[in-house]
Amino acid sequence: MLGYFCTNYMRTNLGMTMTCMVNSTALSLMRNSTANLTQSNLNSRCTYAGDINDSKVNDYGGTLTWSSETQDWLFTATFWGSLLSTLPGGYLVVLTSSPILILGLSTFIIIISTVLFPLLVFQTSYYYVFASRFLLGIGV
């Protein structure tokens, strides 16, 4: 039961880390179109968390400028992978008669996906991050 809890917790912790990874001040400025921003300004670290058009922006110092749609796709990637692997995973448990072996294999997939996640976030595009989260979902 503890293994099942840990694997499900690893699936849902992206919501907490996304808050600190995304530069919400730059996204708010892009959405409201109140400033002339260039790509170099967006990639720099925005530290101002003041009022922008009467709305308070909480920025935790993130450096990524992923849109809300991109963030939504990354959140759902895990659940798409989980949706596609549920029935085959149940069939494997019946076929091998070893739920511990299947739990170990899925935990290994989750660990590999979690270890690669920061590298993929900062070194590649969000397509590879989506694939990593999808693989994590297959492990769950």
> pLDDT per residue over 16-54, tens digit each?
777 777 767 666 666 665 445 454 455 455 544 444 455
Q: How far apart are CA 75 and CA 129, in angstroms?
A: 11
Is the pLDDT reported for residue 125 higher than 70? yes
- Residue extents of the structural domains in the chain: 1-21+66-140, 23-65
Is the pLDDT reported for residue 72 higher than 70? yes
Per-residue confidence (pLDDT) for residue 128, from 0 to 100 = 92
Distinct helix (H) and strand (E) counts, the chain: 7, 2
Percentage with pLDDT > 70 across the chain: 65
What is the longest distance spanned by two Cα atoms in the chain? Answer: 62
Is the pLDDT reported for residue 126 higher than 60? yes
